[in-house]
Structure 1
Amino acid sequence: MTSFSALRALKSTFGAALAAGLLLTSTQALAHATPGVLRVSAIPDEAPTELQRKFKPLGQYLAKATGLKVEFTPVTDYAASVEGLVTNKLDMVWFGGFTFVQANVRSKGKVVPLVQRDIDEKFQSVFITSSPDIKTLADLKGKTLSFGSESSTSGHLMPRSYMLAAKVNADTDLARVAYSGAHDATVAAVAGGKVDAGALNISVWQKLVDAKKVDPAAVRVFHTTPTYFDYNWTVRSDMSPALKKKIAAAFLALDLNKPADKEILDLQKAAKFIPTKADNYKSIEGAARAAGLLK
């Protein structure tokens, strides 16, 4: 069984892994700021090719809005996205709520969440299964379950928290816990019979259903969590106020009634972007501290 204590170990080994250069795919290329370039990345909650596809029109839009060359650099895991921003190897990152909290704590408040999608102020996770025996969270006892990444808000931290609220301890009540690394990989694990159930981001689940990449008659949602704040675009606090203002204004100006903007918003699964602030993520920070992930 994978213990939740492994997450605490992850924190202690974080620096060593980074020092070994295992986390950023292009560490040397990102080592110093490049004039005229906005260096962007995102937590790898989906396949790298999908992240690149989703970001391409947004990157082109931001380049026009800021007058900068926008470079998207994929990272190998969630920890790398945090490290990239707090060590000035990146300028802007698409974080989940938990990775924002990690970056905010590690940098001692030197990162700023600028905007989030309208859906991110009331985000949810879903639990899925292909087993007819699983109808509630209580039915997970004795079964196998896959979360996404260990640092995922919607694919691990919040689902685990809501399981505990339902008196289901993933470490002691389940037969086995696995970590798929990404939301789409969690769906594949459930659909392939590798685990009895999985927890993931509701937006990715709906996208896979809409694209007919999963059959909801074979793999079904049996529990949807309450809402919480989640994803946001975060920048370094030492970014020039003028550039921060341009970036935020560009996101807030996106309009579904404009075809080019609609393409961007559809790929981001958003109707619009709205301002956000660090205080919105206090409940996620509290959940992480209660789990022993932050001290």
Structure 2
Amino acid sequence: MKLKNSLALVAGLALSLSCVISQAAEVLKVSAIPDEAPTELLRKFEPLGAYLEQQLGMPVEFVPVTDYAAVVEALAAERVDLAWLGGFTFVQAHLKNAEVLPLVQRAEDEQFTSKIISADPTVQSLQDLKGKTFAFGSVSSTSGSLMPRYFMLQDGIEPEAFFSRIAYSGAHDATAAWVQAGKADGGVLNASVWDKLVAAGKIDSDKVRVIATTPPYFDYNWTVRGGLDPALRDKLKAAFLALDPADPAHKAILDLQGASRFIETKADNYQGIEEAARAAGLLK
């Protein structure tokens, strides 16, 4: 009897130890739409990842992907826990898995805009780009394709008929580089990346100019997978909301994220994005 009890105790301890090891090895897997160069995405994420590790008390791993669709699939299939999405990629993920939820967004994402740019000195407005070449970002980009296209259609401009040729650069910084190098007469990218490229001197603003700005719309957010533990989800939200621009260490993280601060968001905020995508024939 004593032996049986001892074996049961050993088995129980082994099971407990197994659970502890399992919990210690748990990793929060984070990904992001590849709207900028991979090295830039990682540079922006590393301080945030370290902060989340400290706040959550668990390892955080960044999972890079090759295209927008891969993030949507990974989140909907619950292969990643948290992802940085644009408004359209959130809508796509939410339609695939209704339990996918937007957690927080930057304050700037309540009134986000896209910038239409050109380096052609004869181009002063969008109408001046008629019959010329034009670059969007990724087909799945909210600010680099969907919303600019939607607003063009509202103004009676059918891009495929209006421009002589359309190309997709795949990322906002690539679009700006194409326009500066003359590979496209005009292009569109999100306002945040445009401001960052100009501030960093990567774009010559004397040569490349903003010729139009879209109306505002909701855009980027941090989204969690449906099956994520609610307690962990709440800790994640609290960690983002606790980032304080008055704290120098926090401000460094916020600056890299292009955020003045983070605020709560909800799925209903992106209903307009879904309507725009359906109007553009990107959702069935």
Q: Give the alignment's TM-score, normalised by structure 2.
A: 0.90
Is the 1:41–1:94 contact (alpha carbons within 8 Å) kept by the matching residues of 2?
A: yes
Is the 1:265–1:272 contact (alpha carbons within 8 Å) kept by the matching residues of 2?
A: yes
User: Gapped runs of 5+ residues in structure 2?
Assistant: 1-22
Which of 87, 90, 99 is the aligned partner of 2:80?
90
Aligned residue for 1:66? 56
Once the two structures are superposed, residues 52-110 of structure 1 have per-residue CA deviations (whole angstroms, 9 ceiling, x without a partner) of 00000000000111111000011000000001111111111000000000001111x12
User: Gapped runs of 5+ residues in structure 1?
Assistant: 1-32
Mapped to 1, the partners of 2:101 and 2:226 lie a distance apart of 6
Aligned residue for 2:71? 81
Mapped to 2, the partners of 1:294 and 1:162 lie a distance apart of 17
Aligned residue for 2:262? 273
Is the 1:137–1:166 contact (alpha carbons within 8 Å) kept by the matching residues of 2?
A: no
Mapped to 2, the partners of 1:201 and 1:60 lie a distance apart of 27
| Residues 1:224 and 2:201 aligned together | no
Which of 129, 132, 136 is the aligned partner of 1:143?
132
Is the 1:137–1:163 contact (alpha carbons within 8 Å) kept by the matching residues of 2?
A: no
Aligned residue for 1:23? none
Offset at 1:35?
Answer: 5.0
Aligned residue for 2:174? 185
Aligned residue for 2:43? 53
Which of 268, 284, 291 is the aligned partner of 2:280?
291
Aligned residue for 1:3? none
Is the 1:138–1:166 contact (alpha carbons within 8 Å) kept by the matching residues of 2?
A: no
Aligned residue for 2:159? 170
One-letter identity of the residue aligned with 1:37: V
Mapped to 2, the partners of 1:35 and 1:179 lie a distance apart of 40
Mapped to 1, the partners of 2:161 and 2:57 lie a distance apart of 53
Is the 2:78–2:227 contact (alpha carbons within 8 Å) kept by the matching residues of 1?
A: no
Offset at 1:232?
Answer: 0.1
Is the deviation greater in 131-140 or in 283-292?
131-140
Is the 2:24–2:58 contact (alpha carbons within 8 Å) kept by the matching residues of 1?
A: no
Offset at 1:140?
Answer: 2.0
Mapped to 2, the partners of 1:292 and 1:35 lie a distance apart of 44
Is the 2:31–2:62 contact (alpha carbons within 8 Å) kept by the matching residues of 1?
A: yes
Structure with the higher helix share, 1 or 2: 2
Is the 2:134–2:184 contact (alpha carbons within 8 Å) kept by the matching residues of 1?
A: yes
Secondary structure at 2:277's aligned position in 1?
A: helix
One-letter identity of the residue aligned with 1:130: A
Which of 106, 113, 126 is the aligned partner of 1:117?
106
Q: Give the alignment's TM-score, normalised by structure 1.
A: 0.87
Secondary structure at 2:156's aligned position in 1?
A: coil
- Structure 1 moving runs of 4+ over 4 Å: none
Mapped to 2, the partners of 1:270 and 1:292 lie a distance apart of 31
Aligned residue for 1:207? 196
Aligned residue for 1:235? 224
Secondary structure at 1:238's aligned position in 2?
A: coil
Mapped to 1, the partners of 2:272 and 2:38 lie a distance apart of 29
Secondary structure at 1:116's aligned position in 2?
A: strand
Aligned residue for 1:106? 96
Mapped to 2, the partners of 1:213 and 1:179 lie a distance apart of 20
Report the number of matched residues: 262
Give the RMSD, CA atoms, in angstroms. 1.2
| Residues 1:256 and 2:245 aligned together | yes
Secondary structure at 1:222's aligned position in 2?
A: strand
One-letter identity of the residue aligned with 1:74: P
Once the two structures are superposed, residues 21-78 of structure 1 have per-residue CA deviations (whole angstroms, 9 ceiling, x without a partner) of xxxxxxxxxxxx9951000000000000000000000000001111110000110000
Secondary structure at 2:255's aligned position in 1?
A: helix
Offset at 1:216?
Answer: 0.7
Mapped to 2, the partners of 1:166 and 1:242 lie a distance apart of 46
